[in-house]
Chain A
């Protein structure tokens, strides 16, 4: 091991703490601002220390919303975001794992073309097909619905690839053993393959949940009703009004609430998160 002499080690510690400070500072400011009086912030006299309005501001944010015309409690937006994120994460995992199962464990006509059709969606992110997709969702009467929020994002080439790769590493003996036990394809999938895939599914879920919670462009387009807004869309609408009317403590409280679930997931499930991130990028 190359030993670092004392001085260099202090430099490393110092640089890392500076990095952490840079990374954390904007969030610190948001937390501080969410506990202060709006008038003070609007005058440009915000204090860098927490104020005394924490409960007041968060109560208003979660249960009432801004005082302006687009009054929508952020609690409801969080619920919408949660439903969308769960639908996207669970939906992607569910449809990917069964298509990977079909592609690996069966031989049927058009097997490879179907695989490629799924694979190529990697190159069709929602940004390059926004308006035509919008039109289809509108024609299917799915605007302002959870189905409309989730379905067009639910296909996943990455998840399908990941499960395919994993299934390829599962020993053939397992299938033969369960066949001897009289298990059919569905039984084998449910009793053997699914339990084996648990860690992969969990790692994928962590990443997909964050991805789903943080969706922005698509919900922005297809939600017009305020009560269907997700929190990411809601926060932007709060700063639409002219600057003087923006209620910054509420905006910052919303920002903090929007960060809380995904950041919690990353910190609490760090191992799964890192694993999922590295695997989905391969």
Chain B
């Protein structure tokens, strides 16, 4: 944890940590504390007086149907995005892991979408699947599908999931490829000598050995779906039609924007904070395990 050879100085170390500490305290801890405090307060309609109301804001939140739906929706989105993106990326990574000519080129051509910002992803996909002018929407309509994500909530949700999964392919691909390359080749050879066909080799050798990577990526993808889909949702559907694409983060944002209930907005923030803590905790416990794996 610490070096044997160190410097002696009374003030210098404090001066060195001061900038980061100042930013952390002013812009991270103080606002977080404010959110926690506010979540226990109720402000009257004119903002003149506040009363301490214990857990009323939370109780009200969980009684609110819209909030409950947003929780369920966020989890559904997360799993749909994670599963579709992970399985497609795994397929590509397994293919790219083979000794093929041009495998470096394949890697380059598959990883760059990592750099595309979520709002841009949203713009790209809504343009392709826009009901009146999208190039892909044309084909959907030709196939007899009544495609209108601007009016149909389920189609809007599908669109968000599709776009969000698309963006995450490159990230997952990169980590799967690294995971695959870390598996010693001799394991595959042994399985091949035992007469296992490629499909069987994948399910009995590759997949189990890749499970730490899969679990790690699952957590990362869920965190991504919770937080980074905000930009995609905001440019594609703005949470609509109705509330059919409102996730937890989007709800904090849009409820706060309307300037309504401060206490409720703060309680929502605190619940999100707890979720992040849980997810980060899982991630770290897992990383510990990966080291000893």
Partners in one complex: yes
A interface list, Cβ under 8 A from B = 1-2, 4, 8-9, 12-13, 15-16, 19-20, 22-27, 29-30, 33, 41-44, 46, 48, 94-96, 98-99, 101-108, 111, 114, 117-118, 121-125, 127-133, 135-137, 151-152, 154-156, 160, 167-168, 172, 175-176, 184-186, 188, 210, 213-214, 216-217, 220, 232-233, 235-236, 239, 243, 248, 251-252, 255, 258-259, 262-263, 265-267, 270, 273-274, 277-278, 281-282
A245 to chain B, nearest CB (A): 13
Interface size on B, residues (CB 8 A): 98
Chain B residues, CB < 8 A from A16: 92, 95-96, 100, 106, 110
Please indicate the chain A residues that have their CB under 8 angstroms from the CB of B189 in the complex. 1-2
CB distance from A5 to the nearest CB of B (A): 10
Question: Per DSSP, are chain B's interface residues mostly helix, strand or loop, or mixed?
Answer: helix
Among B9, B17, B96, B99, chain A packs the most CB atoms within 10 A around the CB of B17
SS of A interface (majority): helix
Cβ contacts under 8 Å, B126 to chain A: 239
Q: Number of A-B pairs whose CB atoms are under 8 Å?
A: 287
Q: A22-B169, A128-B269, A155-B28 are in contact. List 12 more A-B contacts (CB 8 A).
A: A9-B98, A19-B91, A98-B16, A124-B276, A127-B230, A128-B272, A155-B20, A185-B7, A188-B7, A232-B117, A262-B116, A270-B111
- Among B29-37, B41-49, B72-80, the stretch in contact with A: B29-37
Q: Is the CB of A270 within 8 A of B108?
A: yes
Task: Give the residue of A26, A127, A156 whose beta carbon is less than 8 angstroms from that of B272.
Answer: A127
Bound CA span A160–B249, Å: 27
Bitwise interface map of B from 110 to 130 toward A, beta carbon under 8 Å scored 1, else 0: 111111111111011111101
Instruction: Report which B residues bind A (CB closer than 8 A).
Output: 2-10, 12-14, 16-17, 19-21, 23-32, 34-35, 38, 88, 91-92, 95-96, 98-100, 106, 108-121, 123-128, 130, 132-135, 138, 166, 169-171, 174-175, 178, 185, 188-189, 192, 198, 216, 220, 227, 230-231, 234-235, 249, 252-253, 256, 265-266, 269-270, 272-273, 276-277, 280, 287
Contact between B114 and A266, CB atoms less than 8 A apart: yes
Nearest CB of chain B from residue A196's CB, rounded to whole Å: 14
Q: Can you report 25 residue pairs joining A to B where beta carbons are below 8 Å apart?
A: A26-B125, A44-B134, A96-B20, A104-B3, A107-B2, A108-B14, A111-B13, A127-B252, A128-B32, A130-B252, A132-B30, A136-B31, A160-B20, A232-B119, A232-B120, A248-B133, A255-B124, A259-B116, A259-B117, A263-B112, A263-B116, A267-B108, A277-B174, A278-B178, A281-B216
